[in-house]
Amino acid sequence: MPNLELIREQYNSARALCTKRIVVCAGTGCIANGSLKVFDALKNAVALSGLEITVSLKSDKPEEHKHHDVYMVGSGCQGFCQVGPLVTIEPNGIMYGHVKPEDAEDIVARSVVKDEVIERLLYHNPEDGTPYKGVKEIPFYTKQMRTGLKDCGNVDPLNISEYIAHEGYFAARDAFTKYSPEELCTFYKDSGLRGRGGGGFSTGMKWNFARIEDNPKKYVICNGDEGDPGAFMDRSILEGNPHSVIEGMLIAARAIGADEGYVYMRMEYPLAIQRIRKAIVNAEELGILGDDVFGTGSSFHISVMEGAGAFVCGEETALLASIEGKRGMPNPKPPFPAQKGLFGKPTIINNVETLALVPIVMRQGIEKFRSVGSAKSPGTKTFALTGHVANTGLIEVPFGTTLRKIVFEIGGGVLDKDGKINNDAFKAVQIGGPSGGCLTSEHLDLPIDYDSLGAVGAMVGSGGMVVMNDSTCMVETARYFMGFTQHESCGKCVPCREGTRQMLEMLEDICAGEGTEETLELLQEVGETVKLASLCGLGKTAPNPVLSTLRYFRDEYEAHVKAKYCPTKQCKALTPIYIDPQLCRGCTLCTRVCPVGAISGEVKQTHVIDPMICIKCGACIAACKFKAIS
């Protein structure tokens, strides 16, 4: 049986012998920005300066513990991808952004050997240029409440001892040695923990459905098929703290009596796959996973399954079909997977973020967990904040936080079409990906939780939050999402297969200027039908982006179909031809070439085009000698 206390103690004593710790973010975003080169450059610079360095803290043999000046770690995603590569120096708490390999020498000389802060590498507020020293000061971090993400980007994801030193696996051990499965289900039900993958169903209740099934074989599945475009919290957790997910799966396995688990991963996340595989091997070596979990004689094995690129596999029953080696098509519920799931056995499927929160809830206790968030949606939620916002990245806030705080305070404000911060440019937030809806300025003060979002036609979904400024065409956005869901519709049930296709064609018509008011009526009707009649979650939620934009941006749709005009000039076919009054000399040539007589104006006076008559043939553009028409 692994002695967690001893591992923790040995790790801490080895760690105490290191003077400084340099954390280089090695999440997908920072790696793309060159963080691995920065890591090597820093390592070389430390070695050149004559300091003792270690990159893998060996803590299992106390007799070999020795002093190191620098302990270097590549961490998982720290959420602030835009500013990457990120380098943090502890215990000083300095965080540097946009670090280049050339900066390594300077960092080592001034911030590692000495305790100076290099101002040019700090994060500066884009609005007024104020420099911030580190996570304890940067508003992007201070206004968040990082619970599930707390250790993500802090612990070394490849070092199981470090996870244990951060109280990891103690909750799983308690689950196997102190609590009965029934107690665990009741505990999680009372905690109010709800599934973070979209539906928001009570985790404890779900487990209990599987627990009461009398079957010697049961499965726990971690759903890491994060297909929502614009969401990347699952990737970040699996990259940054894979052991927290394994611990969550262990507790779930104990609660329902499962001996086998799968982590279903998107193949688009190679780094996350690599890290979860390594974490599983390390946990097996310690006897945390395997045939004798924590010496209790219970067995639990986890395999990793890579998806092959199908959005619908995020749906539970489709995911099961995919693991069974079939086309990933959903099946009607009931029977629910908790009764008849993988290979016909009782199965629970939890999302990555939910599983990562499971050990945290036990560590915190019900009272503390419920003290954050709203009454019906306790705890925190991770959102992927992207789009036209100054600070993009992964954030975690308590349920009940308002959109205003997320976008304007944590996000640092809205970017206008010139890329400048201008909060008046705010137009909408698309939340929950292709299954979610749009929120507008009237929702800025709405406390965000599962129930409040449902009431306004959106959903928490996986937590993708895309901010859009006033240069975004909402009709085109709806068309984009419909194009996505139509492409991903598996084709099993008619409402989704045909309905999404018809909706997409109608939206394409509207964007091409061929829509009429009847198109809008029909679009609404088909959308409501698809929502009602589809078999699985994909189809039931596919019309949400269309229905919510129809609801909140009706005038924009009407401009497209009535005035044949796209207010944001995003739809090329509906962008009026315009004569620049500064350049027009009033030569009247254009009025003569216009086949429909849409251009009017006196000689030597500025001419204007009547958009209602113009057929956009372009004859005037070709004729104008002064390039005044575009």
Would you count residue 282 as binding other proteins (CB under 8 A)?
Answer: no
Q: Which is nearer to other proteins, 82 or 423 (CB)?
A: 82
Would you count residue 427 as binding other proteins (CB under 8 A)?
Answer: no
Cis peptide leading into residue 335 (ω within 30°): yes
| Pattern 370-389, other proteins, x by CB under 8 A | --------------x-xxx-
| Pattern 483-522, other proteins, x by CB under 8 A | -x---x-x--------------------------------
Shortest spacing between CB 235 and other proteins, in angstroms:
4
Measured between alpha carbons, how far is 119 from 115 in angstroms, rounded to an integer?
Answer: 13
Runs of H (alpha helix) within 383-516: 403-404, 450-455, 474-488, 494-511
Task: Kindly indicate which of the ranges 38-46, 145-153, 252-260, 261-269 contains the residues binding other proteins, using the contact rule CB under 8 A.
Answer: 261-269
Q: Do the beta carbons of residue 519 and residue 444 sit within 8 Å?
A: no
Shortest spacing between CB 432 and other proteins, in angstroms:
11
**Sites for other proteins among residues 166-205 (CB under 8 A):** none
Q: Which of 284, 306, 416, 508 binds other proteins (CB under 8 A)?
A: 306
Task: Kindly indicate which of the ranges 56-64, 359-367, 391-399, 533-541 contains the residues binding other proteins, using the contact rule CB under 8 A.
Answer: 391-399
How many residues of this chain bind other proteins (CB under 8 A)?
59
- What is the full DSSP assignment across 549-568? HHHH-HHHHHHHHTS---TT
Task: Kindly indicate which of the ranges 78-86, 121-129, 215-223, 527-535 contains the residues binding other proteins, using the contact rule CB under 8 A.
Answer: 78-86
Q: Do the beta carbons of residue 403 and residue 466 sit within 8 Å?
A: no
* Torsion angle of C-alpha atoms 398, 364, 287, 218, degrees rounded to 10: -70
Q: Which of 132, 140, 169, 269 binds other proteins (CB under 8 A)?
A: 269
> What is Dmax (Cα atoms) for the chain?
96
CA distances from 469 to 83, 397, 446, 614 (A): 21, 23, 19, 29
Would you count residue 82 as binding other proteins (CB under 8 A)?
Answer: yes
DSSP class of residue 435 equals G
Measured between alpha carbons, how far is 75 from 166 in angstroms, rounded to an integer?
Answer: 14
**Sites for other proteins among residues 442-481 (CB under 8 A):** 464, 466, 468, 472, 477, 480-481
Q: Which is nearer to other proteins, 365 or 419 (CB)?
A: 419
Report the DSSP pairing between strands 18-25 and 87-90: antiparallel
Measured between alpha carbons, how far is 441 from 385 in angstroms, rounded to an integer?
Answer: 17
The number of beta carbons lying within 10 Å of the beta carbon of residue 365 is 12
Task: Kindly indicate which of the ranges 178-186, 220-228, 273-281, 597-605 contains the residues binding other proteins, using the contact rule CB under 8 A.
Answer: 220-228
Shortest spacing between CB 309 and other proteins, in angstroms:
4
Measured between alpha carbons, how far is 181 from 202 in angstroms, rounded to an integer?
Answer: 16
DSSP class of residue 403 equals H
Shortest spacing between CB 595 and other proteins, in angstroms:
29
Would you count residue 29 as binding other proteins (CB under 8 A)?
Answer: yes
Q: Which residues pair with 221 in a beta bridge?
A: 262, 349
| DSSP H or E stretch at residue 431 | strand 426-431
Would you count residue 433 as binding other proteins (CB under 8 A)?
Answer: yes
Residue ranges in contact with other proteins by CB under 8 A: 28-29, 31-33, 80-82, 84, 226-232, 235-236, 266-270, 305-311, 322-329, 343, 384, 386-388, 392-394, 430, 433-434, 464, 466, 468, 472, 477, 480-481, 484, 488, 490
